[in-house]
Amino acid sequence: MTSRVHVGLSDRAYDIFIGRSTAEHLGDALAAGGKVTHAVLISDSNVRPLHGERLCAELRERVDRVDALTFPAGERSKSLTQFAELCEQMLRLGADRRTLVVACGGGVVGDLAGYVAASFARGVRFLQVPTTLLADVDSSVGGKVGVNLPGAKNMVGAFWQPAAVLIAIDDLATLPDREYRAGLAEVVKYGVILDEEFFAYLEAHVAEIDARDPAVLEQIVTRCCRLKADVVEQDEREETGLRAVLNYGHTFCHAIEAETEYGAFLHGEAVAIGMLCASRLAERRGMVDAETTRRQQQLLEQLKLPVACPGLELPRLLAAMMRDKKVAHGRLRLVLPTRMGHVELVGDVPEAEVLEAWGPALNVS
């Protein structure tokens, strides 16, 4: 049981190796980066004991010198302060432009360590070794790396493609239930935005997903990576608008996260709520039928994801939406579904319609 997804980006092309363990494909992944004599594994305080130590040992079998850096787990570490600290630690380790960075962890680790790789010595090679479902299917693929500014998520960063991505399905077995389910929200998103057949597959496999069946998980992760790779191949730097489809639900989601100071909801949970807001907005604009929203809500509920965020304040949510990176020349642009499996980027959405779309998510008794 093993899959490979190729991300075709000319001189920045790379493979995503999906197996049961990292050991299966570590050799292939390292070979993709060229000669490696020094590797620096970067992970956080949660991941280091769970997966980092084992990966370090595996790396030491193949690389002359392996160092490891660890930072405190949590979104707060995705800051320019932590970025500077890691860069200085890299320098003290004697890292140079041939050093390989190995990002081992969830989305925060991949984004932060990836940005260190993009920036140290103006860019060194790096491996993404995601250890959460969310990172497997989303943040580890596509080269988006970066950190937050106070009040603005992912506002500083780069597009920096890894030399390879190494996904170990068995790592998902130890993932806390809530984090696992948060990852499933992004999985559902791929079905809604790009692949009706895949959405139906998910509807038909709720039990196996609940049980974290490795064969089903491998199917799911592989399909999501392929779907994301297709998009990234066509719009690496989010310039044509195509890559923006991946942000379905995310403008609403980022507003929820900002308003709750990234404390009340995991990213995937906020995505679940945000997708339903976006789908309802599309309904109100006559772009999509009610059934499309209903199927999303049903699947998300079956996967035990939140579908509302009662108590948040509408004016503050709206203000947060306007700070989103997708705002171009001060106008709100949103990704909205036109049918199950297809979305479009819509510019100039009237504020009144956005207000209405939030309603059901906020007014829950």
What is the set of active-site residues? 122, 144, 186, 228, 238, 243, 247, 250, 254, 267
C-beta of residue 11 within 8 angstroms of C-beta of residue 158 = no
123/359 with CB nearer its own copies: 123
Residue 216 binds its own copies (CB under 8 A): no
Residue 329 binds its own copies (CB under 8 A): yes
Half-sphere exposure (Cβ direction) of 274: Cα atoms closer than 13 Å: 30
Amino acid at 323: R
Residue 119 binds its own copies (CB under 8 A): yes
- Minimum CB separation of residue 293 from its own copies in Å reads 30
**Encoded tokens for 262:** 């990234």
Question: How many Cβ atoms sit within 10 Å of the Cβ of residue 104?
Answer: 31
Q: Quote the DSSP letter at residue 328.
A: B
Residue 61 binds its own copies (CB under 8 A): no
What span, in angstroms and rounded, lies between the C-alpha atoms of 365 and 357? 17
Residue 91 binds its own copies (CB under 8 A): yes
Residue 151 binds its own copies (CB under 8 A): yes
- Minimum CB separation of residue 346 from its own copies in Å reads 18
Helix axes 177-194, 214-234, angle to 10 degrees: 50
Paired strand residues for 44: 71
Which of 155, 153, 350, 359 shows the shortest CA–CA distance to 259?
Answer: 153
159/180 with CB nearer its own copies: 159
50/87 with CB nearer its own copies: 87
- Minimum CB separation of residue 31 from its own copies in Å reads 18
For residues 222-281, which are near its own copies according to CB under 8 A? 237-238
Half-sphere exposure (Cβ direction) of 306: Cα atoms closer than 13 Å: 22
CA angle 340, 346, 351 (to 5 degrees): 115
The answer for residues whose C-beta is within 8 angstroms of residue 92's C-beta and 6 or more apart is none
From 12, 205, 284, 325, residue interacting with its own copies (rule: CB under 8 A): 325
From 93, 121, 206, 308, residue interacting with its own copies (rule: CB under 8 A): 121
- Minimum CB separation of residue 151 from its own copies in Å reads 7
C-beta of residue 272 within 8 angstroms of C-beta of residue 305 = yes
- Minimum CB separation of residue 82 from its own copies in Å reads 11
Residue 149 binds its own copies (CB under 8 A): yes
Binding site for its own copies (CB under 8 A): 37-38, 80-81, 83-84, 87-88, 91, 94, 96-98, 118-123, 144, 146, 149-152, 154-159, 237-238, 325, 327-330
